Amino acid sequence: MDIALRRGFIWPSFEIYGGVSGFYDFGPLGSLLKNKIIQKWREYYVLGEGFFEVDSPAVTPEEVLKASGHVNHFVDAMTECQKCGAAFRVADVVREVTGRDVEGMSKGEMEQFMKKHGVRCPDCNGELGHVFDFNAIFRTTIGPGTQRVGYLRPETAQGIFIDFKRLQRHARGRLPFGAVQIGRGYRNEISPRQGIIRLREFTMAEAEVFFDPEDPHHPKFSDVAGEKFRLWLAVDQEKGRERLNEVTAEQAVDGKLVCNELMAYYIALTKRFLGDIGIPKGAVRFRQQTPGQRAHYSAETWDAEVLTERFGWVEVAGLAYRTDYDLTRHAEASGEDLAVFSADKKRKVICHVVEPSYGIDRPLYCLLEHAFAQERGRAYLRLKKDMAPIEVGVFPLLNRDGLPEKAEVVYEGLRREGFMAEYDESGSIGRRYARADEVGTPYCVTIDHRTLEDETATIRDRDTAKQVRAEIKELPRLLRSLLSGEMPFEMAGEAVKSKSERP
């Protein structure tokens, strides 16, 4: 977190005004990394799955969220300290004090649990009052006067559901088809205390997969049938067992561990995606929510969770079987017929929905934590090369003899070729390598006296600190191959024998 703050990944929002909990900014490196995660997500869901992206407003009129059930059901159990008046989300204050999870319990059960375990106000040790519901949607007013109530969307999904008719026409009647949205979601948390893990405003990437309930098959299921993942079943959680079932997607379907083939497919895809942005496979599990934990619209939910040092298991994505809940509710509330013809054109059906819904901020945090490495006295971010915010550093070896001028030319050239390059001339070359390592820059190009003679420069590899020497005019091609992982570093040029600059 120190590097994240100091080097421009994550900053507390409104910091000069004392900050507001539940809000974080992404600084220059955080924004680059966030954009790369979003780009990768689009590669999976827009390019790969062929899903349609839509982009709808965050401000949402009341009708929509009444129909979706959020106005009534999107609530957090809350309690207030009887002494200092501080407000708490019950699940958070219980976890903070006892390390236990009361999510999914009834309000009465929560009160009993708190009494039994002596949960008191963490701020002043006062007694906590009754548990009551707080609606976690931000409320506002559209236009002048107060007649038109609006909310900030708690999920991007509703913007997709209400566009269903147009989307279905765009898909020319094909089923299944999917639509995605990437954007801000809002949850007016009571008193968020977990940094970037519990935000009031967050970025989410959601996919809604519409299918005929009699045909819950994915045309490319065979591509993932053998993919293994680890499931923590609700029944095991309820019995207090930590047992994980490691199964293939096919086994999960055949053994009826998951509701249908589409769910198994997207669990597998989620596992691949998380691996592809750089989260180690061993740190990922899929936890089935117990019936009490599930959102009001879901018949089955799997949370993709990543193990972190700081926050334990963190939910980074949720895969919900939303059935025909949303389309039925919107059809009723709007009076529009949202039924469509089945593939054989013989039946009319309300589509069912499987929803893979990803956070963007939380995976980013998990990824940073897992990438952080300390070795032989140096700290570096072992980010996947294609995910690094800065792709290449360009340094003059010394601050004279025309080296900075030459390095600037190389830097500008790489930028023009589309590389996120950074120029740095301050401090010793070792110091500059260390700074680049710290933010995960995979390659550094150094301009030295020999460059001025023969138009070659050294390229240094972040992970091994090894160096090769290559022609400047070859740099774009070499760096492209190195960053994509197509070329092993040793093939990029003539090995450099360096003593002083190795760590």
What residues between 172 and 201 interact with a copy of itself by CB under 8 A?
A: 172, 179, 184, 186, 188-191, 200-201
CB 166, min distance to a copy of itself, A: 6
Q: Which of 4, 26, 111, 363 binds a copy of itself (CB under 8 A)?
A: 26
From first CA to last CA, the distance across the chain in angstroms is 24
Q: Is the peptide bond before 176 cis (omega within 30 degrees of 0)?
A: yes
User: Closest Cα partner for 445 from 404, 407, 405?
Assistant: 407
Tokens 């390592």 appear where? 437
**Using CA atoms, how far apart are residues 447 and 396, in angstroms rounded to an integer?**
5
User: Contacts with a copy of itself: how many residues (CB under 8 A)?
Assistant: 75
Q: How far is the CB of 422 from a copy of itself (least distance, A)?
A: 9
Instruction: Tell me whether residue 24 or residue 443 sits nearer to a copy of itself (CB atom).
Output: 24
- Choices 23-31, 240-248, 295-303, 462-470; region in contact with a copy of itself by CB under 8 A: 23-31
78 binds a copy of itself (CB under 8 A): yes
Which of residues 54, 102, 258, 479 is near a copy of itself by CB under 8 A? Answer: 54
Q: Does 28 bind a copy of itself (CB under 8 A)?
A: yes
Which residue, 263 or 390, is less far from a copy of itself as judged by CB?
390
- Residue 134 and residue 7: Cα distance in Å, rounded? 37
The CB-side HSE value for 435 (13 A sphere, CA atoms) comes to 19
CB 131 within 8 A of CB 107: yes
Burial code (b: 16+ CB inside 10 Å, e: under 16) for 328-339 equals ebbbeeeeeebe
Q: Least distance (Å) from a copy of itself to the CB of residue 138?
A: 5
Cβ count within 10 A of residue 226: 11
Looking at beta carbons only, is 363 or 493 nearer to a copy of itself?
363
Q: Does 502 bind a copy of itself (CB under 8 A)?
A: no
> By CB under 8 A, what part of segment 420-439 binds a copy of itself?
420, 426
DSSP-derived 3-state class of residue 130: coil
Q: Which residues pair with 10 in a beta bridge?
A: 26
How far is it, in rounded angstroms, from Cα 426 to Cα 395? 9
- Choose, by CB under 8 A, the member of 1, 58, 283, 496 that binds a copy of itself: 58
- Shortest Cβ 402–a copy of itself spacing (Å): 18
Is residue 82 involved in binding a copy of itself (CB under 8 A)? no
- Relative to beta strand 245-248, strand 228-232 is antiparallel
- Residue 85, token pair as written in the block: 């008046």
Q: Which 383-422 positions form the footprint of a copy of itself (CB under 8 A)?
A: 415, 418, 420
Work out whether 57 is an interface residue with a copy of itself (CB under 8 A): yes
- Is 345 a binding residue for a copy of itself by CB under 8 A? The answer is no
Which region among 12-20, 250-258, 261-269, 441-449 touches a copy of itself (by CB under 8 A)?
Answer: 12-20
Nearest CA-CA partner of 487 in 423, 443, 445: 443
- Of 271-330, binders to a copy of itself (CB under 8 A) are 330
By CB under 8 A, residue 149 contacts a copy of itself? no
Per-residue burial over 164-185, b if 16 or more Cβ lie within 10 Å, else e, is bbebbeebeeebbbbbbbbbeb
Kindly tell me which of 11 and 221 has the beta carbon lying closer to a copy of itself: 11
Three-class DSSP labels, 67-119: HCCHHHHCEEEEEEECCCCCEEEHHHHHHHHHCCCCCCCCHHHHHHHHHHCCC
Place of tokens 């999107």: 74
Kindly state the smallest distance separating residue 45's Cβ from a copy of itself, in Å.
12
Check binding of 36 to a copy of itself (CB under 8 A). no
Tell whether residue 152 is a contact of a copy of itself (CB under 8 A): yes
Among 118, 144, 240, 488, which residue sits at the site for a copy of itself (rule: CB under 8 A)?
144
Confirm or reject binding of residue 464 to a copy of itself (CB under 8 A). Answer: no
Q: Minimum CB separation from a copy of itself for residue 420, in Å?
A: 7
CB of 65 or CB of 264, closer to a copy of itself? 65
